[in-house]
A and B are shown apart, each in its own frame.
Chain A
Amino acid sequence: MEALVASAVGVLTAAGIFLILRRRTFPVILGLSLLTYAVNVFLFATGRLALDAPAVLNKYKDVPYTDPLPQALVLTAIVISFGMTAVIVMIALSAYLSSKDDHIDMTAQDSVDAPGEDA
């Protein structure tokens, strides 16, 4: 089981990073999403894996519980990463609609055209 989770985290990380290194906005957003999965699962797995042991207390008998702390951490991380994705999507969209260009890199020409520069 551990090997499955670890290899999945590895594949998600590799794919996420590869896509983050692309030069258009949309693949970068996809890459960030994949990396988010990888990081969340990674954090979750730091609490070690356990089957059938949710951290919901049982009043009637003594049962093993999994580690609740990484779960609480990851729960907020999932929600926050939604906020982050939404902001990036919005920035990418606004940039594309304003300039009709979805490259993430500024070119030398862009910096010459940039407003507000003294030159």
Chain B
Amino acid sequence: MSLFLIAALPFLGAVFPALLIRAGRNAAASAAGLTSFLAFAGLLIHAPAVMRGEVVTARFDWIPGLGLNANFMLDGLGFLFALLILGIGLLIILYARFYLSREDPMGQFYTYLLLFQGAMVGIVLSDNILLLLIFWELTSLSSFLLIGYWKHLPEGRQGARMALAVTGSGGLAMIAGMLILGNIVGSYDLSVILQNKELIQSSPHYLPALILILLGCFTKSAQFPFHFWLPHAMAAPTPVSAYLHSATMVKAGLFLMARMWPVLAGTDAWFYIVATTGLVTMLIGAVIALFKDDLKALLAFSTVSHLGLVTMLLGFGTKIAVVAAIFHIINHATFKAALFMTAGIIDHETGTRDIKRLGGLRHLMPITFTIGIIAALSMAGLPPLNGFLSKEMMLEETVHTTWLNSHYLVPGLALVAALFSAAYSFRFVGHVFFGPEREDYAAHPHDPPVGLWLAPAFLVVLVVLIGLNSAVLVGPLVATVSSAVIGGEKLPYYSLKLWHGFTPALYMSVVATLGGLFLLSLHRRADHVWNALPRPEAKVIFDAVIAALTRFSRWITDELHNGVISRYAIILIAFTVGLGYYAYATGTIGLETRVPLPAQTIPIIGWICLVGATLAIMWFHRNRLLSLVLIGVVGLIVSMAFNYLSAPDLALTQISVEVVTMILLLLSLNFLPTETPWDSTAPRRWRDAAISVVAGLGTGGLIYALMLRDFAFPTISEFHLANSYKGGGGTNVVNVILVDFRGFDTFGEIIVLGIAALIIFALTESVLGTNVRSYLLNRKPHWPQSGDAHPLMMVVATRVMMPIALMVGAYIFFRGHNQPGGGFIAGLIVAIAYLMQYMASGYTWAIERQRFYYHGTIGWGVLIAAATGLGAWFNDRPFLTSDFGYIHWPPLEEFEWATAILFDTGVFLAVLGAVMLALDSLSRFAWQPGMAQEHPMDINPLRDAPPDEDQDEKEHA
């Protein structure tokens, strides 16, 4: 099975539980289980190849420009982790089916679980560090959903938030580290990075990259001082804890350290950071675990401790320590998942997880007892169980480790940690299962149904078998994985067996076990001391830090974003002016290479009108109607200037847009105050004036300088001019650019225009739904109303002009490809033709005759444009490639037919619909009852028809 499919299966399968939950909880669970099983089976198909030491790969260039490739690889290390993730995932799916109660939304649970599983599989199979980072963040997100699964519990929500905050910010640090690493090597592919040990370790950026990557690993794997999130994540349902916090998510950090081991390990920095962190974590976790009364909290801190153990082994940087680390990862996954499930069973059946309220369960729950005691003794490190083997190897390695010239520090502290580890494991057994039976259990304890104990039972069988016969069962796997971790070099000699003779490790084990028993006997007294000691409470610190950060960001937001828009505007403008000045002061300006065009009389007159009107607007802007008239003058001069300066298309567009904009502004002024009162102080006005003048001078100066110089580089315009006719089949180059060369931009633009119109429509709908409507109905107009709202002359004139205007629109549209015109302009002209009817005959009159909705017009426009573009695909051309040909229909002249005209039809419809929808929405504000007049110039031929027919006709309309 392709690696793509293995990684994708859980994601694909995540859909099914959510859908199938309607068919019952078994259906949802089976769907999840089947998906996992398929992926698991697909993985096992590759097992023989992987065990031979081959690397299975699957490559796909995703975004090669960014170095982001969807490359997957499966080597020993990835295989082991994928095996754990999918295998234990299967057991958890079984266990959760019986663990979750009827009230819990099980479909959601399995969906989240599969999403998480997919993300984890993605991490371990990635051969590209950018891809790995994506999956890494996905695990943070999906574990957030899983930890906070019981949304009604505040602990669940807080724990989920804390986990996300800690692992998420670690992930951010890791992104930075990975990018540095990728930069050093020049590739983001792991297989390339792993070949470049010397290059990476000699780089000056090695240390920052190492620290950032380790931050990601340490937060994920709950290493001190980031260990605190893990116990709080125990608020999750037990299947989640068993899955995420024993076998998978917290191991992601270990996985990455192992993955990067060949290139990052072996330096002093690596040893002191990683080994020390691991040692401290192992010790602290073990000590705290002994004093936790909550079963899951005990297991959580024990997990922290064991993760520290593996981290420390990887930190040693020796090959034999890697073997021990890999072996312990396997062992820990088996016994810890079983222990979590056991804790879940106890919680489920007795109603409590508080060790102080438990005890004497060995006869009441014999099966659970058997499972629990085997797993716990393996955790304590007793022979002949698998935990003993890897712990021995760990102790053996510590003996050979020197920390700052001290031979005793590491083994000594490791021994203490092992001692506490034995003590809390014995406590798990002794205080829960042994001791007298109690009268006050929260519920009557009994063994659970087989569905609950089957999964942990399977795991403890593994615990025993691996312990007894490790060399055969997991020996080859450990060897394959270890050689994958150390980069394919030769493995040192080691043997996985119970009896190594009288070694220092054996003595240490004996001391740890006996010491653990002794410590447990003192537990009551030690507990008093522990509780009396002042301890930093991680949650309090975390909450304080988060609260301080929140206050800080709120302060920044409030200061910057205080709702005073004029302040934002002035900051933006002043900054832009400053930037412009900086560019002007530091840059150089070339020589003038163009001769200015002579200024003729008429342009000078136009200039005087424009500047005069603009200054008048500034002066008279308080009189709003007058400033609208003046702005119309400006628009007119601008369109004339376009026409004069060889841009007929622009002139046509500008003048038609001018008309609709004016109508829009006039309509809106109908409802706004007609005067702008004075509310700026004189100094403020002077300040604004000064900024405006500087900005105006700068902009004018810039464009003046630009116009008098030739292009510094050849432009692409020549290409458009040369290919417009040959390639696009049109002689109007501007239109060919719009509908052909840059058709995709135009396509985006008509969508934006449509969205703008829909926003206007939606705003109108929502505003008119409030008490604004009654205000509008009762409001007095600013100006006295005309006695004749729809003057005869105007009505007649506009109705006569309607077909002419439509004809002009059609003419402009069809000539567009070869002469100035096109869809944009035609759309505007036709819109104006309609608006004339609205204005002359009234909104009500027009709306009664409207047979279609403008929303639909916009939609059809966009769809037609898209369909034209897609058409190119059927001819094996890229999206929006146009085609054209010539048709001769006698007696007509030969004429040209280009697919671009279809695209232009889409543009036409979208522009028409958008303009109409915008103005139509605005007109609705003006609607008053009784506006429809019975007898204006309403020449309705049906008016004199018999009444019932008339009725019919209206219904059809």
Per-residue 0/1 for A66-82: is the Cβ within 8 Å of any B Cβ (1 yes, 0 no)? 11110110111011111
Nearest CB to that of B756 among chain A residues? A83
The answer for the CA separation of A105 and B672 in the assembled complex, in Å, is: 17
> B717 near A67 (CB under 8 angstroms)?
yes
Chain A nearest CB from B640 CB (Å) reads 12
Chain B nearest CB from A15 CB (Å) reads 5
B738 within 8 A of A: yes
B918 within 8 A of A: yes
> A33 near B767 (CB under 8 angstroms)?
no
The answer for the CA separation of A14 and B745 in the assembled complex, in Å, is: 30
Nearest CB to that of A114 among chain B residues? B563
The answer for the CA separation of A52 and B559 in the assembled complex, in Å, is: 54
Instruction: Please give, as numbers and ranges, the residues of chain B lying within 8 Å of A84 by CB-CB distance.
Output: 756
Instruction: Please give, as numbers and ranges, the residues of chain A lying within 8 Å of B753 by CB-CB distance.
Output: 79-80, 83
Instruction: Please give, as numbers and ranges, the residues of chain B lying within 8 Å of A51 by CB-CB distance.
Output: 597, 644-646
Beta-carbon contacts under 8 Å, A23-68 to B: 23-27, 29-30, 33-34, 37-38, 40-42, 44-59, 65-68
The answer for the CA separation of A6 and B607 in the assembled complex, in Å, is: 11
> B661 near A33 (CB under 8 angstroms)?
yes
> B749 near A76 (CB under 8 angstroms)?
yes
Chain B nearest CB from A70 CB (Å) reads 8
**Which listed segment binds A: B115-123, B289-297, B649-657?**
B649-657
Q: Which of A25, A79, A111 contacts B657 (CB 8 A)?
A: A79
Q: Which of B638, B738, B921 contacts A41 (CB 8 A)?
A: B638
B720 within 8 A of A: yes
> B673 near A102 (CB under 8 angstroms)?
yes
The answer for the CA separation of A67 and B594 in the assembled complex, in Å, is: 15
Q: Which of A24, A66, A86 contacts B664 (CB 8 A)?
A: A86
> B563 near A111 (CB under 8 angstroms)?
yes
Instruction: Please give, as numbers and ranges, the residues of chain B lying within 8 Å of A106 by CB-CB distance.
Output: 562-565
Q: Which of B634, B716, B737, B763 contacts A37 (CB 8 A)?
A: B634
B682 within 8 A of A: no
Per-residue 0/1 for A98-110: is the Cβ within 8 Å of any B Cβ (1 yes, 0 no)? 1000111111001
Instruction: Please give, as numbers and ranges, the residues of chain A lying within 8 Å of B282 by CB-CB distance.
Output: none
> A13 near B717 (CB under 8 angstroms)?
no
Q: Which of B700, B715, B824 contacts A79 (CB 8 A)?
A: B824
Instruction: Please give, as numbers and ranges, the residues of chain A lying within 8 Å of B627 by CB-CB distance.
Output: 30
B395 within 8 A of A: no
Chain B nearest CB from A20 CB (Å) reads 6
> A78 near B699 (CB under 8 angstroms)?
no
Nearest CB to that of B634 among chain A residues? A37
> A93 near B621 (CB under 8 angstroms)?
no
Per-residue 0/1 for B884-912: is the Cβ within 8 Å of any A Cβ (1 yes, 0 no)? 00000000000000000000000000010
The answer for the CA separation of A74 and B676 in the assembled complex, in Å, is: 32
> B749 near A82 (CB under 8 angstroms)?
no
B733 within 8 A of A: yes
> A2 near B597 (CB under 8 angstroms)?
yes
> B767 near A97 (CB under 8 angstroms)?
yes
The answer for the CA separation of A29 and B627 in the assembled complex, in Å, is: 11
Nearest CB to that of A69 among chain B residues? B717
B566 within 8 A of A: yes
> B564 near A54 (CB under 8 angstroms)?
no
Instruction: Please give, as numbers and ranges, the residues of chain A lying within 8 Å of B310 by CB-CB distance.
Output: none
Q: Which of A2, A24, A30, A54 contacts B707 (CB 8 A)?
A: A2
> B614 near A44 (CB under 8 angstroms)?
no
> B653 near A75 (CB under 8 angstroms)?
yes
Nearest CB to that of B762 among chain A residues? A90
Query: Given that A27-B676, A76-B746 are known contacts, is A68 also in contact with B721, CB under 8 Å in the complex?
Result: yes
Beta-carbon contacts under 8 Å, B678-693 to A: 679-680, 688-689, 691-693
B68 within 8 A of A: no
> A7 near B611 (CB under 8 angstroms)?
yes
Nearest CB to that of A111 among chain B residues? B563
> A97 near B775 (CB under 8 angstroms)?
yes
Query: Given that A1-B599, A23-B679, A38-B699 are known contacts, is A45 also in contact with B707, CB under 8 Å in the complex?
Result: yes
> B604 near A4 (CB under 8 angstroms)?
yes
Query: Given that A68-B737, A105-B564 are known contacts, is A24 also in contact with B676, CB under 8 Å in the complex?
Result: yes
Per-residue 0/1 for B124-141: is the Cβ within 8 Å of any A Cβ (1 yes, 0 no)? 000000000000000000
B514 within 8 A of A: no
B471 within 8 A of A: no
> A49 near B645 (CB under 8 angstroms)?
yes
Instruction: Please give, as numbers and ranges, the residues of chain A lying within 8 Å of B665 by CB-CB distance.
Output: 29, 85, 89
Query: Given that A86-B760, A93-B671 are known contacts, is A4 also in contact with B775, CB under 8 Å in the complex?
Result: no
Q: Which of B611, B669, B715, B749 contacts A67 (CB 8 A)?
A: B715
B770 within 8 A of A: yes
> B661 near A82 (CB under 8 angstroms)?
yes
The answer for the CA separation of A19 and B570 in the assembled complex, in Å, is: 11
Nearest CB to that of B705 among chain A residues? A6
The answer for the CA separation of A104 and B680 in the assembled complex, in Å, is: 13
The answer for the CA separation of A4 and B760 in the assembled complex, in Å, is: 37
B648 within 8 A of A: yes
The answer for the CA separation of A80 and B653 in the assembled complex, in Å, is: 11
Instruction: Please give, as numbers and ranges, the residues of chain B lying within 8 Å of A17 by CB-CB distance.
Output: 573, 688, 691-692, 695-696
B173 within 8 A of A: no
The answer for the CA separation of A53 and B449 in the assembled complex, in Å, is: 89
B254 within 8 A of A: no
The answer for the CA separation of A85 and B631 in the assembled complex, in Å, is: 14
The answer for the CA separation of A48 and B597 in the assembled complex, in Å, is: 11
Query: Given that A71-B650, A105-B564, A111-B563 are known contacts, is A9 also in contact with B911, CB under 8 Å in the complex?
Result: no
Most buried by A among B628, B650, B716: B650
Instruction: Please give, as numbers and ranges, the residues of chain A lying within 8 Å of B710 by CB-CB distance.
Output: 48
> B618 near A19 (CB under 8 angstroms)?
yes
Instruction: Please give, as numbers and ranges, the residues of chain A lying within 8 Å of B819 by CB-CB distance.
Output: 56
Per-residue 0/1 for A107-119: is the Cβ within 8 Å of any B Cβ (1 yes, 0 no)? 1001100000000
The answer for the CA separation of A9 and B698 in the assembled complex, in Å, is: 10
> A37 near B638 (CB under 8 angstroms)?
yes
The answer for the CA separation of A85 and B207 in the assembled complex, in Å, is: 54
> B614 near A56 (CB under 8 angstroms)?
no
Instruction: Please give, as numbers and ranges, the residues of chain B lying within 8 Å of A91 by CB-CB distance.
Output: 763
Per-residue 0/1 for B735-765: is the Cβ within 8 Å of any A Cβ (1 yes, 0 no)? 0011000100110010011001101100110
Beta-carbon contacts under 8 Å, B445-478 to A: none
Most buried by A among B627, B672, B918: B672
B776 within 8 A of A: yes
Chain A nearest CB from B613 CB (Å) reads 10
Q: Which of A34, A65, A97, A110 contacts B617 (CB 8 A)?
A: A34
The answer for the CA separation of A50 and B676 in the assembled complex, in Å, is: 41
Q: Which of B617, B731, B763 contacts A56 (CB 8 A)?
A: B731
Instruction: Please give, as numbers and ranges, the residues of chain A lying within 8 Å of B547 by CB-CB distance.
Output: none
> B617 near A94 (CB under 8 angstroms)?
no
Nearest CB to that of A89 among chain B residues? B668
The answer for the CA separation of A103 and B650 in the assembled complex, in Å, is: 35
Nearest CB to that of A106 among chain B residues? B563
B256 within 8 A of A: no
Q: Which of B570, B700, B745 contacts A10 (CB 8 A)?
A: B700
Q: Interface on B for A, CB 8 Å cutoff?
A: 562-567, 569-570, 573, 594, 596-600, 603-604, 607, 610-611, 614-615, 617-618, 621, 624, 627-628, 631, 634-635, 638, 641-642, 644-650, 653-654, 657, 660-661, 664-665, 668-669, 671-673, 676-677, 679-680, 688-689, 691-693, 695-697, 699-701, 703-704, 706-708, 710, 715-717, 720-721, 724-725, 731-734, 737-738, 742, 745-746, 749, 752-753, 756-757, 759-760, 763-764, 766-767, 770, 772, 775-776, 818-820, 824, 828, 911, 914-915, 918, 921-922, 925
19 contacts between A and B (CB under 8 A): A6-B700, A6-B701, A6-B707, A7-B607, A11-B615, A11-B696, A19-B618, A46-B706, A48-B710, A50-B645, A51-B644, A56-B818, A75-B649, A76-B824, A78-B657, A90-B921, A94-B767, A104-B565, A111-B562
Given contacts A23-B680, A67-B717, A86-B757, 10 further A-B contacts (CB under 8 A): A12-B696, A15-B618, A27-B676, A54-B646, A56-B820, A65-B721, A79-B824, A83-B914, A106-B563, A106-B565
What are the 7 A-B residue pairs with the smallest beta carbon separation, nearest first?
A: A10-B700, A106-B563, A14-B696, A6-B704, A83-B756, A1-B597, A57-B731
